Structure formats: C-alpha cells, structure tokens
Amino acid sequence: MLRFQSVVFSSLLLLATTAQRLQAQRLIPQPSQITATTGVFKISGATAVIGGKSAGEAKYLQESIKNRTRLNLPLQPAAQTNYIRLSLDEKLDATLGREGYLLKVTPAGATITAASDAGIFYGIQSLQQLITFKDNSYIIDGVDIQDKPRFGWRAFMLDEARHFKGTAAVKKLLEEMAALKMNTFHWHLTDDQGWRIEIKKYPLLTKVGGHRDSTQTGSWSSTVYDGKPHDGFYTQEQIRDIIAYAAARHITIIPEIEMPGHSSAAIAAYPWLGTRHQQISVPGKFGVHYDVFNVTDPKVVTFLQDVLQEVISLFPSKVIHIGGDEVKYDQWKADANVEAYMKSHQLASPADLQISFTNDISVFLAGKQRRMMGWNEIMGAKLHEYNDTKDVGTKQLAPGTIVHFWKGDLKLITDAVSKGYDVVNSYHAATYLDYNYTQISVEGAYKFDPIPAGLDAKYHSKILGIGCQMWGEWIPDEMAMEEMVYPRLAAYAEDGWTQPSNKNFKEFKEALNNFYSRWSNRSIYYHRN
C-alpha cells in the first residue's frame, strides 16, 4: 500500500513539475504545440552557433544572445554538443509553411528547423524567450515546439503624418514587432496635417507639406492650439535604411499614400491639386477636412502616378496602400467641372467617382506588379454622417484589391469576401491603439478575432489577418505613443499568430512579465494594469 502511495505521489509530483515547466515556457505568441521534455541545456561562452545556410539569422542570434546575456557565442560550421543549430528543410513548407518552425531543446543543444529563413527567425524569437538565469547559468529547459502562424498578415500601423516620430523610434518599434513575430509594418506617411516622405519630383511636398505652424490640443472640438511649429520627413535614403532594417527582421513595410482625401498637406504645397486652386495652409486642426484631390483633372492623376512611381522604387512591398477613407464629397459637388466629368462618364454619385478613380490607380499599380489596398470606404458604402444617404457607390471595385476593414457593420466584411476580395480586419472599436485602456483594455485587445463571428467558413481564407493602428492625432511624442502601444501590441501579436484554442488570457498576462522586463531594459514606456 505504501509503495502504491509512493508511486502515486511521484506521479503527481512529476505532473506538477511538468505543469510548472510548461507554465514557465508559456510564450508570446503561444505556439501551436509545445511539449516539455527532460533535461536542461546550459548556454555558455563556448556554445556554438551553427548557421548552415542561414548566415544572416545566425549573426542575428549571436548578437541577440550577446545583448541578452553578454555571452559572445562563436559561429562555427559544426559541433557535436553544446550548440544552437539552424537548419533549413524545404519539405517543412508543406506542413508548416514559410513562417513555421520546429524547435527542439535537449541537454546537448538546441535545433531550429524551418522551410525558410523567416521560420528560422521566428524560432529564434521563441528560443530567446525560453532562456532563464538559474544557479549562475543561462539555461533552457528541454522542450519540443512545432509552430506556425494562424494568419499571414500580422500588422502594426504607425501614423506619422500627425506627429513625426523619426528613425530611432521606428526602428525600436520594428525590433519589438520582430520579437512578437509580427511581419507587416503599415506606414501612414501622408495626411492632412503632414507629408512625411521625400518625393524628388515634387520637393514642395516636404518643404511645404512637411511643416505646420501650430497644432490643435485637448480634444476634437478644441479651439486651443499650441502655437509651436511641427515638421519632419524621411529622405529616400532614410527610408531605404529603415526598409533594410525591417527586412533583416522579416518585416515588410507597406507604405500608405492617402488619396483622394486627407490631402490638405499636398494641396498646401501645390494648390492646383484641389478643385479651387487656392492657396491653403497645412492644417493644425485634426479631423476630416474639406479639400480633396481633383481626380477629374488629368494633371492631378499624373501627379499621383508620379508619386506612386517613386514610392514603388523605394518599397519592395507588393502591396501599396492608397488610403481612400473619409472623403468629404462637398468640394466635388460644388465644382462644375467635376459635375460635368461625372455626367460624361456616367458616374451616378461622388462615391462612384471615387471608385472609378481608385480602379484607375489599381490598374496603374497592377502594371507595376503591385497590388492596391485601401480602407473599406473604397467599396462605396456610406459610413459617415457628413456624406449624404445618396452618396453610395454602385460601381464594382477592381478585382485583386485588398479591403482594409475598419468601420461600419461587420456585414460589410461578408459583402467584401463574397465578392472575392481579401480582407485585413482592423475594426476600429477593437484595434485602435490611440483609444485609451478604458475603451480597449488589454483583455479586450486579446479577445479580438480577425475572423468575425458568423462568417461562413468558406470565406475564412479570405481574411488575411489583423492590423492594429497607432493613430497620432493626440500622441505628440514617443513616450505617449509607447504607453498606448505596450502591452497591447503583444495581445494583437497573439491574435494574429495563435490558434484560438491555444489562447488563455490568464497565462498570457503572466507571460507578459518577461516582456515588461524586456521593455524596461530597452527604456520603453508601457502601461501596466
């Protein structure tokens, strides 16, 4: 009887120990499968990094471990024990895709296997989270991980048109995105309040459009301004540097160039871009403005194509975001030439004019082997109180367009996918990082599912993934931005990577402690509930 009790006690102790180890190995984002195994791998200054064909990732791993532990691990071609091995295996593409990976840790060493360098890179991120310091040694408990992302589009958006942040802030964000296995940086570079990208053919876009004299403070309805100039833009050389930095972390940068609305900064630089041809100032007031591009003027369309051509020459991304949101149609309605154009082209509403223009831009981008993306107003639905009930589109949006859903009834997603469009779900009430923590708590962010409830399973593959947005109107500096981004960025990262069945908010909150330590060490400001 005592022997039986001893066996039961030993079994319970083993289960408890295994459960504790699995708890300690809770990662963000949580992998598809994770199994605790026996033994411990000790990392020392003699631990070899075996890069194989993944030389770039091996160097990244070496530098990351050095920053974390101060251990300078040697790069070696082979080792029998005490190693971290990176191994490419194209056959894994069939089961884990290009971003999935296998991670196996034994007392002899750690091996990361994947079909591509992206998968190797994400395996490295998991490996780094598993490192702990115990008894004066850096160790990793034995573990087997098989992992791949739920969605291929896991994005963070930064709006720098409203408040310019600069290269250092962007690179810091990219580093944290990489640690969380996010792969898309959506860069909102132009808007009413500022133009932040150098366009060599039109230098006034940054010389004039990149500067405003004052900025609204307080709230949307405020009449108070700070009286301080605000300016800033990225040269093309700086943009190339940031793109390379992102690419080394397997992050694609999607540029957004707003058209036909949110265009006041461009019109301030070149008044002939609007319908009135009147000089305006770059507005310091936030919200939706009256001035929009005159898309019926061939000269304006040529300007936009010229801008996009320079953007394409900079950004290797196959997707170009053209905005398309919050267009006030009043200026078009008030212009006789626009009205005549609409009649001659049989366009029943200003929304149809916008769709027609958007489709022409889509054709232009397709001719450059690029794909157009825009906020869901580009489909022609009435989403805003400032547009008339008749301001809806009847024309069909160009095929191949990616619809970026942010506002309106969730049925609009069904409408988009049923018509064949791919969708990125960024529903504002669940993903806007400028909303405070009362509006979107960490738990609220964690509960967001990019696939809306009730969507027919046959359309699930049309949901490319998730985007979370850091709009900049009321976020004047880097500290204010970081407090809104962290830790919710980690929640959105898990929304995009982890299967719903593997999500657990209580465990996620506990695992956040590792990231709080990381962010503190990197002088990142974060909100802690």
Q: Is residue 18 pLDDT above 90, yes or no?
A: no
User: What pLDDT was estimated at residue 17?
Assistant: 45
- The DSSP line for 196-254 is -B--TT-THHHHTTTEES--B-SSTT---B----EE--B-HHHHHHHHHHHHTTT-EEE
- What does the pLDDT look like over 175-210, one tens digit per residue? 999 999 999 999 999 999 999 999 999 999 999 999
pLDDT tops 70 at residue 14 = no
Helix (H, G, I), strand (E, B) or coil at 494: helix
The pLDDT assigned to 519 comes to: 97
Range list of H helices, 131-185: 167-179
- The yes-or-no verdict on residue 20 having pLDDT over 60 is no
Question: Does the pLDDT of residue 467 top 90, yes or no?
Answer: yes
Residue 109: strand, helix, or coil: strand
Residue 367: which pLDDT band, with cuts at 50, 70 and 90? very high
Give the model confidence (pLDDT) of 202-218 as tens digits. Answer: 999 999 999 999 999 99
Query: Which of the four pLDDT bands, split at 50, 70 and 90, describes residue 289?
Result: very high
d(CA 149, CA 178): 14
Indicate whether 4 pLDDT > 80: no
> Known catalytic residues?
191, 262, 326
The answer to whether residue 270 scores a pLDDT higher than 50 is yes
pLDDT digits (tens, 9 = 90+) for 102-160: 999 999 999 999 999 999 999 999 999 999 999 999 999 999 999 999 999 999 999 99
pLDDT at 482 over 80: yes
How far apart, in whole angstroms, are the C-alpha atoms of residue 329 and residue 347?
Answer: 14
Residues with Cβ within 8 Å of 70's Cβ and at least 6 positions away in sequence, in order, are: none
CA–CA dist 81, 111 (Å, integer)? 11
* pLDDT value at residue 25: 78
pLDDT in tens, 39-68: 999 999 999 999 999 999 999 999 999 999
pLDDT band at 36 (very low <50, low <70, confident <90, very high): very high
pLDDT tens sequence across 433-461: 999 999 999 999 999 999 999 999 999 99
* Spatial separation of the C-alpha atoms in residues 104 and 141, rounded to whole Å: 10
Q: What are phi and psi of 225, to 5 degrees?
A: -125, 150
Average pLDDT value for the chain: 95
The span from the CA of 268 to the CA of 273, in Å, is: 9
**Selection from 288, 295, 306 nearest residue 273 by Cα:** 295
| 181, two tokens | 């296995």
pTM to 2 decimal places: 0.95
d(CA 149, CA 31): 8
Q: What pLDDT digit, counting tens, does each position of 389-421 carry?
A: 888 999 999 999 999 999 999 999 999 999 999
β-bridge mates for residue 320, sequence order: 372
